Amino acid sequence: MVVLVTGSNGQLGQALQSVAGNYPSIDFVFCNSSELDITNLEQCKVVFNQHKPNFCINAAAYTAVDKAESEPEKAFKINVNGAENLALVCKDFETTLLHVSTDFVFSGDFSTPLEMTKGYTETDKPNPTGVYGLTKLQGEQAIQATWEKHFIIRTSWVYSEFGNNFMKTMLRLASERDTLSVVDDQIGTPTYAVDLANTLLKIVTSSGVEKSNYGIYNFSNEGKCSWYDFAKEIFIQKDIEIDLKPIPTTEFPTPANRPAFSVLDKTKIKETFHVDIKNWKDSLKTALQRI
């Protein structure tokens, strides 16, 4: 079985490389953005013709949420045109596409009381409030319109020992400052990139890969917290003393709006692929040990 991974130089791409050795039945082809520019359809065709993958995991994306507000064309080119290009070549080569999307496709204006809900389901209506979320939603729609053999995995708050992310930023800031303020009114779930990588590969190797199961799935770790709670747990686990202050989003304005609530309900992926999902605090412990 050949699995081609785009965006191998990114956080998820590096996480996939870190676990690849645990899947001896898979012949991985890892392509960074220079080896496979997903916005270049002809290059996609050449790479697919060379490797003829059974599966393609698209870990390439424009993920600079705030920068996307001033670079909408670039975000669209990667997140929409790139996704569509991969769907087109996957169709040509009968390749099953696994595409990673985001909780930012939702506005976060959740009407149900937070303590009463498991979060957004795959059938809830998206309503992105920024360029990043909009382009990721349009990428999903381009795939759905192009090639039926796809799995779209929406995830949230991705971090790991690889790349740039919230966990590593908090550790860096704690080494530079005595006090730190973090927003406490945005609620979601951290996702360890290695857990996401293993879940994607569980889908690839599952007997459940069949027509009836194609579509959208949610995946994050279990539990929910604010960014303040996330930061606090990082410092507790690393035994770092710092004056951490909770602040409302209004005191930390950013170019892009963030969902106030973006917890994802994982019932569908658990039932379909029998995925065992760890609590976010347990996975954070693993990531901090590996950093």
**Considering only CA atoms, which of 82, 77, 139 is closest in space to residue 105?**
139
| Polymer length in residues for the chain | 291
Q: What is the pLDDT of residues 165-177, one digit of tens each?
A: 999 999 999 999 9
Please tell me the distance from the alpha carbon of residue 23 to that of residue 28, in angstroms, as a whole number. 9
Please tell me the distance from the alpha carbon of residue 108 to that of residue 128, in angstroms, as a whole number. 9
DSSP β-ladder status, 55-58 and 225-226? unpaired
pLDDT-flagged residues of the chain (< 50): 116
132 is an active site residue: yes
Q: What is the pLDDT of residues 81-140, one digit of tens each?
A: 999 999 999 999 999 999 999 999 999 886 655 554 689 999 999 999 999 999 999 999
The pair of structure tokens assigned to 212 is 């009836």
Catalytic site residue from 132, 159, 192, 217: 132
**Considering only CA atoms, which of 210, 201, 224, 223 is closest in space to residue 275?**
201
Q: What is the reported pLDDT for 200?
A: 98
Whole-prediction pTM: 0.96
